[in-house]
Amino acid sequence: MAWSKMKQILESFLCPALYGRVEYCATSYRYLPDKAGFCYITVNKKNVFNMSDVTTLIRWYQTEQEIKNEPNLIIPIDKEEIEAVRKDTNGTVPEDRLVVIARKRKISEYAKTILSAQSALCKSNFYVLANKFLAASIEENIESDDILLNILALVDRRVGKKRLLSMTENMKLKHPIVQYFYELRLSTL
């Protein structure tokens, strides 16, 4: 589906009070195939949610380093994870190094999880998630762990006042950008 058509469909689901205030934007670079393009959501012409993959690797590395350097963070390692490292190294690594390697792998996975939770999305991911949003029910989108699906559901006209007010406690556990869109939607009631 072309971006203009998808944008039109997504904006048709906006609640009437947010129509014209919330916009979905995308840029592409036709002559630069290595550029994935950018997607972002604006509120009152201000970019509030940027989905760019330009700095993803840098932010992933920074997150990994923050997890490594956190002295209060305890990362438990299972015997299965140590065995997986032993199998990958063909048993040539000393026993004490196996734990270090297994811990490093787990930290790397945590960093990737945190980064994806912090919405490091690119344009292609936006298309996939927008299609998923359009195909799924509003309840599934609200209860999803994905930030973009939560945002699209919160600004949806099918979410009424009663449902919004009942989600107050759940929103405290969500990402700050989801909380921002929740407050934006509450301000329209």
Looking at every residue in the chain, the average pLDDT score rounds to 81
Q: What is the pLDDT of residue 152?
A: 92
Predicted confidence band at 30 (pLDDT cuts at 50, 70, 90)? low
pLDDT at 43 over 80: yes
pLDDT at 162 over 80: yes
Write a three-state SS string for the chain.
CCHHHHHHHHHHCECHHHECCEEEEEECCCCCCCCCCEEEEEECCEEEEEECCCCHHHHHHHHHHHHHHCCCCCCCCCHHHHHHHHHHCCCCCCHHHHHHHHHHHHHHHHHHHHHHHCCCCCHHHHHHHHHHHHHCCHHHHHHCCCHHHHHHHHCECCCCHHHHHHCHHHHCCCCHHHHHHHHHHHCCC
Q: What is the mean pLDDT of residues 81-85?
A: 88
Q: What is the mean pLDDT of residues 89-98?
A: 86
The listed range with the strongest mean pLDDT (29-33, 96-100, 135-139, 169-173) is 135-139
pLDDT at 34 over 60: no
- List pLDDT tens digits, range 104-128: 888 777 777 666 655 445 555 777 8
Q: What is the mean pLDDT of residues 17-34?
A: 77
pLDDT at 42 over 80: yes
Predicted confidence band at 182 (pLDDT cuts at 50, 70, 90)? very high
